[in-house]
A = this chain, B = another copy of it.
Amino acid sequence: MAAPLGAERALLCCLFLGGLCTLASAATRYHKWEISYQFTSQDCVRKLAVTINGKTPGPTIRAVRGDTIVVAVNNTLMTENVAIHWHGIRQIGTPWADGTEGVTQCPILPGDTFTYKFVVDRPGTYMYHAHYGMQRSAGLNGMIVVEVPPGQPEPFGAYERDHTVLLNDWWHKSTYEQAAGLASVPIVWVGEPQSLLINGRGRFVNCSSEASCNVAHPDCSPAVFPVVPGKTYRFRIASVTSLSALNFEIEGHEMTVVEADGHYVKPFVVKNLNIYSGETYSVLITANQDPNRNYWLASNVVSRPPGTPTGTAVLSYYGGRSSPRARPPTSPPAGPAWNDTAYRFRQSVDTVAHPAHVVAPPARSDRSILLLNTQNMIDGKIKWALNNVSFTLPHTPYLVAMKRGLLGAYDERPPPETYDHAGYDIFNVQKNPNTTTSNGLYRLQFSSVVDVVLQNSNMLRANSSETHPWHLHGHDFWVLGYGFGRFDPAVHPATYNLKNPIMKNTVAVHPFGWTALRFRADNPGVWAFHCHIEAHFFMGMGVVFEEGVERVGELPPEIMGCGKTRGGH
């Protein structure tokens, strides 16, 4: 049950053009995964985790642009299904491989093996994680690294090697308990995470208070990132947090941001990097500090009042006088003030496309969908809603229901296209927080250009608005603009950055702010678009887009078996 089964490099195409043979080759990379429960001690406290080949995080998938990835996922859990999403991979031509339970597939039952097969068509840093219930938080997550083909330059200098950094937050309570609490009246909120993890490793600070805590457990030995003095390294950073917005810092080392969500960024230098759940970045650092000591990698919660200690790992200089795993002599960086929204806003705005890699956005859109993000109530339960509709997943995947024309699988009435943007007071608790649920979706004209504006607002608690990282499946979008306060469709579109917007798949909506994005609906399939905070999506903070479902190829029968596709219907 080892991770990669090896790669078969195959001749993809050989084109004779004016006597020139362009030889491109692509590999098929096979992985065999076994999903199982394991007792692990990620932050030194023993807990039941859901693992891939016995580990959390799972193995990093490495590939070269154009490769085909095949992952045979065998579910050996006892009674629990799974589904794995390949976050940032657009699944062009393979919408059934997106791994989104209820949207693109039925879940994988205990005992079953489901084989995901898809092409990674763009170099960059991505991630994978469960997309079913709250299993991502239970341990099913990892990274995907897609390299440029050998010899192909990237728009920044060479680097010695890359390091992958997967950031997470971690609770001692099970995800079943967390979800049951969210659905309770009154709500039972799990609270802030006990620990922050870097590459799956953290350290619970009150270890002596927990009988099952063992500081010597190898699972919680801090991750070590070796560097050779004078060399430059690429750190590929991803966040799979359930809740936390994070700030990442490498003590004493400036970071040059060069990639975001698989797109080259106009390089800019930061002391520390704000990263929201579902985002990836590449930064370059040069090992130019005193090699006779080690340095901290630090992850700190921002955007929520601090309740969790800094997550740490170690940057270790080769050849210095410090032992590789030695604790740095300083205190770990504490990060910026948790509520310095302006600081984080600025970094968002600073993230624009690399001049040589601008993908020009269409000058205008065919349709604008304005989504007001609110916290709401249904029968005493707290929910999140868009335009006063709280999203629920159907139990027959949309992709199957729509492609096959199954009736009654979802609500055919589309959710509202807009809200009272002139009248709604985003700075106060809403007057009537009651909402309804729906699994209706937005049907987009194929190849049309769609703008979405995400408007944040005050929560049910006064003077509170959170950061919501919205993630779009199946596409990258242009990030056209961010603003504070009320979005005005008569004013703000004129301020959009159409010159060099970065393309991303996940973007932050800042407290009391708005974010505008544009995408082309040119990927046949059905695609979720949702807040990447695990609890928020669970509580209804998402929508679904369909485009060109009639163009989707024949669906693999393996994605069926649930809801209206049960028993061969």
A residues sitting closer than 8 Å to B (CB atoms) are 37-39, 48, 78-82, 106-107, 109-112, 132-135, 174, 176-177, 179-181, 183-184, 188, 394-395, 556-563, 565-569
Contact = CB atoms under 8 A, between A and B. Distances in A.
Contact of A133 (B48, B78, B81, B179): B78
Contacts of A80: 79-81
A569 B132 CA distance: 24
22 contacts: A37-B179, A38-B180, A39-B184, A48-B176, A48-B177, A79-B107, A79-B132, A80-B80, A80-B81, A107-B110, A109-B109, A109-B561, A109-B563, A110-B133, A111-B562, A112-B563, A557-B566, A559-B567, A560-B567, A561-B561, A561-B566, A568-B568
Contacts of A107: 79, 109-110
B111 A395 contact: yes
Contacts of A177: 39, 48
A170 to B, nearest CB: 17
A110 B394 CA distance: 10
The 8 closest A-B pairs by CB, nearest first: A557-B567, A111-B395, A568-B568, A79-B133, A78-B133, A37-B180, A560-B567, A561-B561
Given A37-B179, A174-B176, A561-B567, 19 more contacts: A39-B177, A48-B174, A48-B176, A48-B177, A48-B180, A78-B176, A80-B80, A80-B81, A107-B110, A109-B561, A111-B395, A111-B562, A112-B395, A112-B562, A557-B567, A558-B566, A561-B561, A561-B562, A561-B566
Contacts of A394: 111
Nearest to A38: B180
A177 to B, nearest CB: 5
A569 to B, nearest CB: 7
A473 to B, nearest CB: 19
A82 B557 CA distance: 23
A499 to B, nearest CB: 45
A144 B107 CA distance: 33
A73 to B, nearest CB: 14
B562 A568 contact: no
A167 B109 CA distance: 32
Contacts of A567: 556-561, 565, 568
A399 to B, nearest CB: 13
Contact of A569 (B176, B188, B568): B568
Contacts of A39: 177, 180-181, 184, 188
Contacts of A79: 80-82, 107, 132-133, 135
Contacts of A134: 78
Contacts of A188: 39
A567 B562 CA distance: 8
Nearest to A396: B111
Contacts of A565: 561, 567-568
B109 A562 contact: yes
A377 B556 CA distance: 40
A368 to B, nearest CB: 33
Nearest to A138: B79
Please indicate which of the listed interface residues A48, A179, A560 has the most CB atoms of chain B within 10 Å of its own CB.
A48
A78 B81 CA distance: 9
Contacts of A110: 81, 107, 133, 395
A518 to B, nearest CB: 34
A286 to B, nearest CB: 45
Contacts of A561: 109, 561-562, 565-567
Contacts of A81: 79-81, 109-110
A154 B567 CA distance: 44
A85 to B, nearest CB: 14
Nearest to A564: B112
A181 B48 CA distance: 10
A184 B179 CA distance: 27
Contacts of A181: 39
Contacts of A37: 176, 179-180, 183
A438 to B, nearest CB: 15
Nearest to A393: B111
Contacts of A184: 39
Nearest to A75: B395
A184 B177 CA distance: 23
A61 B304 CA distance: 49
B563 A557 contact: no
